[in-house]
Structure 1
């Protein structure tokens, strides 16, 4: 098949392109830079220079194609990038899906996310679950708009779209908040477990890419398929990551309720400096949330099967550990523990003040 891919140089996209090329498909992929051109060439794909708002480039890339995969998206945490999220996740998706439909592409695979379900409050949901807000991040909100205000209406108009909905995607080369937290625990630099009750449904990037191909080969037009694997809490992941890094797991846990009062402060700081993802207002507000969903439909209809999270995280840790600095000495660890206790005390005071109000 001749296939056009957006987001082909991204985290999931790289794995998808490699797997498509390995299956002898002819792959063209949207590219915004010389570095992206080079990467796509190395993977055996033909780069098409342009962006999500370059309609002539989109039409040229899709010419004579049998299928289109739309993966390109803005992912991150931080309200300073709200306009960028809207432009890429909503307007960009509208451009790609409309162009593909107008071009008569027989199969269109759109990459959504289980984040459109928001915080499920501990409920393990499926594709029928409905959520219309509130949203804990601009990513969640804009991906919801792309899913429910762009993709689904196009399906109703006859567009041959199949939707895939990955969970928390991880693996070697990840640059998400999951990767950032994993590095901290592998290094033993995280003295606390923040929001230990927070839960995610994890899926290895190679499994997610394979799920995209299965959606093309076996998925039904107009249907959505969740690609989410095992559910783990922050507490469970902190202990797993610490063990993989041969570091002691933090003994101190700070429940999400103690941390939520500082979210506005982090939001204020964001107006002044560009905070790392784990310390943004959206990240703090998301503590305690459960982004969890079941993949029964993908397993039954597509034959999709995710690997055990322990196996995938071990592989991911092995790709990170050689590049980490040596472990901290005993004195540094004591200082971090003391700092953690002080932080916990401050959060407790903030929580008590907030409760009294």
Structure 2
């Protein structure tokens, strides 16, 4: 099969490309700059293109057996200074890609969404039928909500054969991202530069290789027109960093009420009227840490697609071994306690 991937040179995209190549598929990687694809397998066809420029995508998508649309603008913190870019990439870019799937009668597409579009679920586990209002602390969430519910869903309702794959917080070796991403927080912990964490902030977590495998399952087994939550199980931030402490011996940051982050956000937002704060202290990021619990139920994807996730303790061990090497720190990981 011949698959096209937008966002192919990113963290998840790279893992997906490698998975598809290993499975014997022909892969076309769409990237804004061909030099960004130098790390991809030699068999991959690289096409320069930008999802915000529809015409430049035509040659890549024409004749594809399937398209994975991963390309997105993702950062939490600097969102207010990038709102126009986020709207252009996440909303307009998604519309461009899905319209081309329609024009070229691509048999199937997978649009990659985020569990962030659910927001705080009020302490309840929600499935794919849940729909939250578009009232989030971050530009990333708001623009992904629009792409999900105002672009992808209406086109699917009109018959476009697309599966929506909803992901959680992704971690693992090979992540090059910084600025409001999970890697930023993990590195801050390892360097003992993370002063505190929110005590009731909860996200669903997924190892990157498992995510790539589950996206392939969504393409192979997912019913067109349906949404599947592909993320792993939700775990609180103190729970996750407690595991990091067990593995590394590096003390976890102090857990404080999430409302502390909300209060700090309001203070910083006033300062942002005249200056831009250091990375990691933006009002948007602080407000995000006070945004509650994203509790999702992935049972439908487990039942219908057969998705699998390794235990987070195992995934963190593999990731931290890599991250410590990146930081030039000695890796002597311990065995974590067995989960309750």
Greater displacement, 258-267 / 99-108: 258-267
**Contact 1:230–1:308 at 8 Å: present in 2 too?**
no
Q: Shift of residue 270 of structure 1? A: 4.6
Q: Deviations over 1:229-284 (max 9, x none)?
A: 1221121122222233322334x4321112312213333455623632x3221221
Per the alignment, residue 285 of structure 1 pairs with 287
**Contact 2:222–2:305 at 8 Å: present in 1 too?**
yes
Q: Deviations over 1:213-233 (max 9, x none)?
A: 101111100000101112211
Q: Shift of residue 107 of structure 1? A: 0.4
Per the alignment, residue 303 of structure 1 pairs with 306
Output the CA distance in 2 between the equivalents of 1:274 and 1:57: 37
State the secondary structure of the residue aligned to 1:291.
coil
Asked if 1:184 corresponds to 2:185, the answer is no
State the secondary structure of the residue aligned to 1:39.
coil
Output the CA distance in 2 between the equivalents of 1:52 and 1:157: 22
Unmatched tracts of structure 2, length 5 or more:
331-340
Q: How many residues align?
A: 323
Q: Shift of residue 150 of structure 1? A: 0.4
Q: Shift of residue 173 of structure 1? A: 2.2
1:37-76 aligned at under 5 Å gives the runs 37-40=37-40, 42=41, 44-76=43-75
State the secondary structure of the residue aligned to 1:237.
helix
Output the CA distance in 2 between the equivalents of 1:167 and 1:257: 23
1:227-306 aligned at under 5 Å gives the runs 227-250=230-253, 252-270=254-272, 272-273=275-276, 275-276=278-279, 278-288=280-290, 289-306=292-309
**Contact 1:201–1:229 at 8 Å: present in 2 too?**
yes
C-alpha RMSD over aligned residues? 1.8
Asked if 1:7 corresponds to 2:7, the answer is yes
Per the alignment, residue 22 of structure 2 pairs with 22
Structure index of larger Rg:
1
More helix by share: 1
Unmatched tracts of structure 1, length 5 or more:
328-357
Per the alignment, residue 354 of structure 1 pairs with none
Output the CA distance in 2 between the equivalents of 1:321 and 1:5: 30
Distance 1:235 1:27, change over 3 A: same
Distance 1:320 1:218, change over 3 A: same
**Contact 1:185–1:245 at 8 Å: present in 2 too?**
no
**Contact 1:21–1:43 at 8 Å: present in 2 too?**
no
Greater displacement, 258-267 / 45-54: 258-267
**Contact 2:34–2:46 at 8 Å: present in 1 too?**
no
State the secondary structure of the residue aligned to 1:135.
coil
State the secondary structure of the residue aligned to 2:241.
helix
Output the CA distance in 2 between the equivalents of 1:325 and 1:215: 37
Output the CA distance in 2 between the equivalents of 1:55 and 1:324: 39
Output the CA distance in 2 between the equivalents of 1:94 and 1:70: 11
Distance 1:244 1:186, change over 3 A: farther
**Contact 1:186–1:244 at 8 Å: present in 2 too?**
no
Output the CA distance in 2 between the equivalents of 1:270 and 1:27: 44
Per the alignment, residue 335 of structure 1 pairs with none
Q: TM-score, normalised by structure 2?
A: 0.90
**Contact 1:51–1:57 at 8 Å: present in 2 too?**
yes
